[in-house]
Amino acid sequence: MGAELVSYTSAMLAPSNVGFGVRSIEWLRGHGGAWLVSDIERVYYSVNAPAKGGPPLKVLPEVGLQNGGSVAPYAPAPIAPIINPPLPGEGVWRPTGPLVGGAAPLLVTTFRPDANYPQMVAGVAWMDRSRTSLQLYPGRYEPPAGAFRGPMEVPPQLRGGLLATFNSGFKLEDSGGGFAALGQVYAPLHDGMATLVGFRDGSVDVREWTGPPQPGPSVLFARQNLPLILENGQLNPNLSDGSQWGATLGNAIRVWRSGIGADARGDLLYAGADNQTAESLALILQRAGAVRAMELDINSEWVTFNFYGAPGASEPSKLLPGMTRDVTRYLEPDDRDFLAVYSRSGG
């Protein structure tokens, strides 16, 4: 008992940007109490599960530049509405600043993804592969291995070209995945796992990993998390198998979930929404145009997508107002690993 008290006290006194309650739960989960946390979460989310039906929304959250903006040489088609009539601006891509090549390389939109739950709203961001670049950054404690942590935040000297930041995947102890970034391999990569991989030529993809445990010199970063939820435009047939989608909540409990996908052109799509299952998250990304996709982190403490209206990480905004973490998350050291989206010259 004395050793556990010392461990808990040390964990609570360690540097962190996460609240005391969440850190206490995380400590309990990692010290033999994972079963208890899982049971409590299941009961809580089951009791608070959203009811079907109810009055439809009359307006969607404002996101992006509402009065239009520069038109890019290419932009994805609007997301077709599921609930008719659509609300003003529903599924319509809106630009966010700063511009690259005279137009916004990052577009955002919101839409209602499920007719059975007419008050649910999903947020989606599209990133132009030719005018953006990504970088994966380790956090203060995740990944757990590796003495070199890097900046643990968006480096101040790179914020002039910052477009967006968003959450990464599960803790590695939960996902069993690999992690490579900043010239380090923090955990070896595993065949068959969904992988967000960035290459030194600037391209990025979401794919099932079939390479070696140690990625070659062409790989800039790689982050693995569970199996793909979407492949060849089709949902993973094992999405009903809860054991594959997280040790605590599995696939069916409705919580905040996030995911990342690639469309047929090779551009990236991020999606986040509350009250989602693994399957409904896959459907959101599929509807937005993804042909391959993977789940990222879940629960309100971890799902974050912030974009910036002006250079220097100025005018930050959330993709959805219900995302609970501060709009300046990742502009200071963060406990978890994350991804930053930067502007680059068009190709």
> How far apart (Å, rounded) are the C-alpha atoms in residues 236 and 228?
7
What value does the mean pLDDT take over residues 54-83?
A: 81
Tell me, what's the pLDDT at 169? 98
Predicted structure pTM score: 0.93
Q: Give the pLDDT band (50/70/90) at residue 243.
A: low
Report which of residues 322 and 24 the model is more confident about. Answer: 322
- Up-side HSE of residue 53: CA atoms within 13 Å toward CB? 0
The pLDDT assigned to 322 comes to 96
Q: Which of 84, 122, 130 is nearest to 106 (CA)?
A: 130
Q: Are the beta carbons of 110 and 60 closer than 8 angstroms?
A: yes
**pLDDT over threshold 60, residue 206:** yes
The contacts of residue 47 (CB under 8 Å, 6+ apart) are: none
**Lowest mean per-residue pLDDT among 14-23, 162-171, 207-216:** 14-23
- The pLDDT tens digits of the residues spanning 282-337 come to 999 999 999 999 999 999 999 999 999 999 999 999 999 999 999 999 999 999 99
- b/e string for 274-295 if b means 16 or more Cβ within 10 A? bbbbbbbbbbbbbbbbbbbbbb
Residue 4 above 90 pLDDT? no
Q: Is the pLDDT of residue 247 over 80?
A: no
Q: Which range, of 1-15, 134-148, 269-283, averages the lowest pLDDT?
A: 1-15
Quick one: pLDDT at residue 42? 65
Across 11-15, 48-52, 252-256, 276-280, least confident range: 48-52
Burial bucket for residue 119 (CB in 10 Å: 0-12, 13-18, 19+): middle
The residue type at 272: G
CB 188 within 8 A of CB 214: yes
Lowest mean per-residue pLDDT among 51-55, 163-167, 179-183: 51-55
Q: For residue 347, what pLDDT is reported?
A: 47
- The structural domains of the chain, with segments of one domain joined by +, span 1-48, 121-343
